[in-house]
Amino acid sequence: MSTAQARMRPEDLAVYLVTDTEQCGGPGGVVETVRRALAGGATLVQLRDPHASDEEFVRLGLELADVLTGSGVPLIVDDRVHLVDEIGADGVHVGQSDMPPAQARAVLGPDAVIGWSVTNEAELDATLALPEGTIDYLGLGPMRATASKPGHADPLGMARLARLARRSPWPTCAIGGVTSRDAAALKASGVDGMAVISAICGTDDPEAATRELTEAWARAPRIANVLSIAGSDPSGGAGIQADLKAFSANGAYGMCVLTALTAQNTRGVSDVHPVPLDFVRAQLDDIVSDVRVDAVKIGMLASAALADTVGEYLAGPFADLPVVLDPVMVATSGDRLLDADATGAVRALMPLADVITPNLPEAAVLLDLPEARTLDDLRDQARRLVAAGARGVYVKGGHLDAGATRTERVSGAPDDTHEGRLATDVLILDGQEHVLTAPFIETRNTHGTGCSLSSALAALRPQRTDWVETARDAKAWLTGAIAAADTLQVGGGHGPIHHFHALWDR
């Protein structure tokens, strides 16, 4: 069907109110809630009341149709195909256990809107096989577990939601525990809107709640602009070259401000040429004066003066943005990338970042302690970094001894069924410890893993609802990139990882 004759425009799904008679305090409450949600900018309304009799449902439906007359906002009814015409609704939303969409289309004819719930890839596959023109939009969910669908155990999360949205030829909305705080991640995931129940019906001021949702949606970027402030690696595996690849591989638009040029290859770093401070400022000022920045990653800072300068921007124009600080000190080859007297200046940046991502040697230097040898040391050092002022800490265990990761299995870690050696990282956020594990891959090609991980974190944060989900997805992507590293043939030392492993079809 061409867009000109589409029955459902993507923009109509932006803020989709699904009513809940109980949360609204009865049928009168529903009508009043819809009236106020309309004033707040709701773009679509669905009457949902699984417990009402048909008579009650029609009575309420007719009142809502009356409220919506002339507003341009369509009215959809949940489930009850046989009441669409009597209410004068624009269409119906059916779920997997309701009337099949093809049958609903046969009953309602060619003009009605039909929405259809999809909760996984298999259901989307089946939906793609329906005759053209059967349905008009998809409700994708549950995004997270909710009270209105207690039986629905398996929340999608943003990565799976984004995959479903990308594959859908129909406009889509996300449903299931959605709030205005999810608007940015949902819009970046590629869905066309947010379907909400509690976020409007469960509030004292449905108009203000709806306005918050519509404004958050309007404000949110479709594609995040992510900035790396880091050094150059001419061999392309680390530094800004890795950062731009990691941003691109993870769905963000990449930008970079150079702090230093290095002469380096896969075998080592032969020289470092710091960029003059004023020129670092000039680069930053040109970004800030022109481009909306959605997240920042900081890599090689080379000197204390450069670290101080970057700190001014973190406290200034970037103060409200997600910031990942990779306290780069030593390259995989063992060469220094930060002046010996600059550790204090990097330490001073810790409270200005949301997450710092030291490897084991860097954690040790920041804490002035011996390098962690066991997983317990690593967890202890992560806690100490929080005590030392870091807001969030992601300590990378790539340098842990094989024995340490094999024997110290952490119960509850996602891969505790994996049999071989693990690559284990520890994340501490808001006082909570999260152990992230992945299979350890036997390869020499790990040049730039740290740069790439911190960049994936910065790229994904605007597309995810929190740092924990961000970290899990970033690590999963990184593991794939390390696993595919040997397909590249770059240099005779520690070669780069394959940033585009999931995109290049070989």
Ligand X SMILES: Nc1ncnc2c1ncn2[C@@H]1O[C@H](COP(=O)(O)OP(=O)(O)O)[C@@H](O)[C@H]1O
Catalytic positions are 396, 446, 448-451
Q: Which of 447, 472, 498, 499 binds ligand MP5 (CB under 6 A)?
A: 447
Q: Which of 27, 236, 239, 311 binds ligand MP5 (CB under 6 A)?
A: 239
Least distance CB 404 / Mg ion (angstroms):
19
Which residue is listed with tokens 């930060």? 338
Binders of ligand MP5 among residues 449 to 488 (CB under 6 A) are 449-451
Q: Which is nearer to ligand X, 255 or 360 (CB)?
A: 360
Known binding residues are 78-79, 98, 117, 146-149, 177, 197-198
Distance in angstroms (rounded) separating the CA atoms of residues 213 and 14: 9
Which residues does 370 contact at the CB level (< 8 Å), separation at least 6? 364
**Could you tell me which of 394, 435, 429 has the C-alpha nearest to residue 412?**
435
Total Cβ atoms within 10 A of residue 373:
14
Which residues does 417 contact at the CB level (< 8 Å), separation at least 6? none
Q: Which of 482, 495, 498, 501 binds ligand X (CB under 6 A)?
A: 482
Q: Which is nearer to ligand MP5, 89 or 353 (CB)?
A: 353
- Residue whose beta carbon is closest to Mg ion: 450
Contact present, 94 and 117 (Cβ < 8 Å)? yes
- Which of 29-37, 68-76, 274-282, 448-456 is the region at the interface with Mg ion (rule: CB under 5 A)? 448-456
Least distance CB 213 / Mg ion (angstroms):
40
Q: Which of 239, 274, 450, 480 binds Mg ion (CB under 5 A)?
A: 450
| Amino acid letter, 151 | G
Say whether 400 sits in a helix, a strand or coil: coil
| Residue 330 φ/ψ, nearest 5 degrees | -135, 135
What is the per-residue binding string for ligand X in 415-454, x denoting contact by CB under 6 A?
--------x-x------------x-xx-x--x--xx--x-
The DSSP-derived string for 425-443 is EEEEETTEEEEEEEEPP--
Which residues does 340 contact at the CB level (< 8 Å), separation at least 6? none
Binders of ligand X among residues 395 to 414 (CB under 6 A) are 396-399
Contact present, 300 and 259 (Cβ < 8 Å)? yes
Number of residues that bind ligand X (CB under 6 A): 20
- Which of 40-48, 161-169, 188-196, 394-402 is the region at the interface with ligand X (rule: CB under 6 A)? 394-402
Contact present, 24 and 60 (Cβ < 8 Å)? no
Distance in angstroms (rounded) separating the CA atoms of residues 401 and 271: 30
Q: Which spans of this chain sit near ligand MP5 (rule: CB under 6 A)?
A: 230-233, 238-239, 262, 299-300, 328, 331-332, 337, 447-451
- The residues binding ligand X (CB under 6 A) are 332, 359, 396-399, 423, 425, 438, 440-441, 443, 446, 449-450, 453, 475, 478-479, 482
